[in-house]
């Protein structure tokens, strides 16, 4: 029978709590660990992500997913985006630090409710979707504890390439709003996200860091992605030619998923990429 535990971490620098959960099938052996990172406007319990946890657990992995601390979800809240002020204060450095804190916690006995004997942290793998795909690649670049990484529908660059006039207006106003088409919300993005990028360019420059990745990399993209152009996967592959690439015919950005997801099984395209990713991790 599958086990699932939920736990909360508190950001070391920002003091904001953020939630995570882990799902696994208890055995008498330590199991490899997969950490899943959601994307922009996403959260750990979006759509079919719970079914992904079940899939990987049944394949013999401990599957951990987290809410990045400033994604707009509140611990103990509705489970959807509701703290728009926190959303506006998010930036890439915060997200990398949240992921790093989770990895630290997994390596610290007693820091999570997961039994240490269930974890084979020599086989620690990362999956990221969309902007989360860029984050897991960046984390692999700076953290040798990561054994392999899979980026699903990943953006190829975090550089905020707005036109100069948009950037200047954003700096003057201090905030730029982006629509959440699913909920109708106008989500604020404060100019500090651009300032953070430029202040930490060396850490966040994915095109510059891709060639130095030492871990095995799997890049997956749908050829009908309506959010992140297919060209992104080719750009990432150009930076890391040893990476394995899977282009899924007919797949959009969410690989068939939607929120909410009422079905008892993974969408067919999500099942396909989960199977490919599990096999990739098992081979490394």
pLDDT confidence of residue 28: 87
Tokens of 21: 């959960």
Which domains, ranges and CATH numbers included, belong to the chain? 3-159+201-282 (3.40.50.1820)
> Which residues have a Cβ under 8 Å from the Cβ of 240 and sit 6 or more positions away?
210, 211, 213, 217
In Å, the largest CA–CA distance within the chain is: 60
Give tens-digit pLDDT for 115-126: 999 999 999 999
Is the pTM here over 0.95, yes or no?
Answer: yes
Give tens-digit pLDDT for 180-237: 989 999 999 999 999 999 999 999 999 999 999 999 999 999 999 999 999 999 999 9
Spatial separation of the C-alpha atoms in residues 26 and 62, rounded to whole Å: 9
Q: What are phi and psi of 40, to 5 degrees?
A: -60, 130
Average pLDDT over residues 89-100: 98
pLDDT band at 163 (very low <50, low <70, confident <90, very high): confident
> Which residues have a Cβ under 8 Å from the Cβ of 153 and sit 6 or more positions away?
39, 129, 130, 133, 220, 221, 222, 225, 227, 228, 253, 254, 255
pLDDT band at 161 (very low <50, low <70, confident <90, very high): confident
pLDDT confidence of residue 105: 98
Q: Looking up tokens 């995570």, which residue turns up? A: 20
């Amino acid at each position: 029978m599958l086990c699932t535990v939920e736990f909360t971490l508190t950001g070391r620098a920002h003091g904001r709590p953020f939630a995570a959960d882990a799902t696994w099938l208890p055995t008498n052996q330590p199991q490899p660990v997969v950490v899943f990172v959601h994307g922009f406007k996403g959260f750990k319990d979006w759509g079919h992500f719970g079914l992904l946890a079940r899939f990987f657990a049944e394949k013999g992995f401990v599957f951990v997913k987290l809410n990045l601390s400033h994604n707009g979800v509140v611990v103990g809240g509705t489970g959807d985006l509701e703290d728009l002020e926190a959303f506006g204060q998010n930036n890439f450095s915060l997200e990398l630090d949240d992921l790093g804190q989770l990895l630290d916690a997994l390596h610290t006995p007693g820091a999570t409710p997961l039994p240490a004997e269930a974890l084979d942290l020599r086989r620690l793998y990362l999956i990221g979707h969309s902007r989360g795909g860029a984050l897991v690649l960046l984390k692999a670049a700076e953290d040798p504890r990561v054994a392999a990484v899979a980026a699903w529908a990943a953006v190829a660059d975090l550089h905020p390439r707005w036109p100069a006039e948009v950037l200047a207006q954003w700096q003057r106003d201090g905030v730029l709003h982006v629509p959440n088409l699913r909920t109708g919300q106008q989500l604020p993005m404060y100019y500090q996200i651009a300032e953070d990028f430029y202040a930490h360019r060396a850490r966040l420059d994915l095109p510059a860091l891709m060639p130095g990745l030492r871990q095995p990399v799997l890049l997956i993209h749908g050829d009908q992605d309506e959010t992140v152009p297919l060209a992104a996967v080719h750009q990432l592959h150009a930076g890391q030619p040893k990476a394995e690439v899977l282009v899924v015919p007919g797949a959009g950005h969410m690989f068939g998923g939607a929120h909410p997801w009422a079905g008892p099984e993974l969408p067919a395209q999500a099942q396909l990429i989960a199977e490919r990713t599990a096999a990739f991790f098992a081979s490394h």
